[in-house]
Every structure is written in structure tokens, then in C-alpha cells.
Amino acid sequence: WPFQDIIAAGFLCWMQRTLRVPNLKIATVLLVAMFFFDIYWVFISVHQFHKSVMVSVATGGGTGESVPMLIRIPQFGDPLGGDRMLGFGDIALPGLLVSFLRRHDIKSHKKIGEGYFLPSLVGYFVGLCVTIVALSIMKMGQPALLYLVPCTLGLTLLLSLCRGELMLLWDNKARRGTEDPHSSDGGP
């Protein structure tokens, strides 16, 4: 598992540097769609296929091989052993939002405590903690985006609404007067 996780981390970092959501509008559509997708394949597919398709695919479907599109974290101190698994989508999709918020904070000249990057990062951490608690309580695979999307996107929407900056994020515009003069198309 360590080599698979190292390769996965490199791939996910490359993906964050390569793919970029242009505004909060696109990030919202993407995350909300994947929120419902994740829930369907973990919880609802059980009723159609008599087992969770997402969990079955992630664990190799009885072949003993797991899909390499996940990060495996061993459960130290667990008498039953085993691994916790976090799919690439659970890292990459909220990561696209977090990366966008960091770029927006830089564009808007916001300090780390005044912007949206730090709250979204904390929200991601809280969402992961809630996912782990849900795994422990329910003893079954969980759609991590069920917890990560409200903790990242939900927090961002609520915070921007309270600050009166929702439309600025929605369209990826900096507050008037904070735009970098060298980034405009009309400047020398």
C-alpha cells in the first residue's frame, strides 16, 4: 500500500495543478452532482444490485485486488486489521474547490485568516473526521462526499453569503479596487 499511496499522492497533486474550476458556480454544480452520485452508488445501489457497487468495486469485488484509484490507510491497533480507503474523488473534487478558493484569495489580496481557503481546509478536515466517525458507528462503507461537500462547499457558501461576497465568488471576481492592476487585459 505505501507505494500505491505515494503514486496516488503524486497524481492528485498533479491533478490539482492541472485542472482548475473557473468559479464557484462550476464548483457547486460539480460537487452537488458528485454528492448525489456518491450517495446513490454507496447506499441506493444496494437495493438494485443487492450490494453496494461502490464498496464492491473499491474492495476488488471478491478478487482480493483493490482499485488503484484510492488511498489506503492501515488501521493501526485494530485487532481485525484492514484498511480505511479514501477514493481519489473524495480528495480531488473538494480539492478543486479548495484550490479555487486559494486562487481567489490571492486574486483578492486576502490574508489567510480573512479569505476562504483556510475555512475550507478546516471544513475538509472536519468532513473527514465526520466520515471516520460515521464509518466507526455504521460499520459499513460511507460516501465521503456526503460529509465533505457540506463541510467545504456548504461552509464556503454560508461564509460568502454572510460576508456579502457570494456573487464575487460565484463569478470569480475580486472586490472592486483589489484586482491586481497587472492582471487586467487593458493594462500595459
Cite the active site residues: 38, 90
Q: Are 34 and 93 within 8 A, CB to CB?
A: yes
Task: Say which residues have a Cβ less than 8 Å from residue 110's Cβ, sequence separation at least 6.
Answer: 116
**Residue 184 host element (H or E):** none
Q: CB-side exposure of 64: number of CA atoms within 13 Å? A: 0
DSSP designation for 128: H
In the chain, helix, strand, coil percent, each to 5? 65, 5, 30
Rounded to an integer, what distance in angstroms lies between the CA atom of residue 137 and that of residue 133?
A: 6
Query: Nearest CA to 97 among 121, 114, 77?
Result: 121
Rounded to an integer, what distance in angstroms lies between the CA atom of residue 33 and that of residue 97?
A: 14
Query: What is the residue whose three cell numbers read 490574508?
Result: 111
Query: What is the residue whose three cell numbers read 475555512?
Result: 119
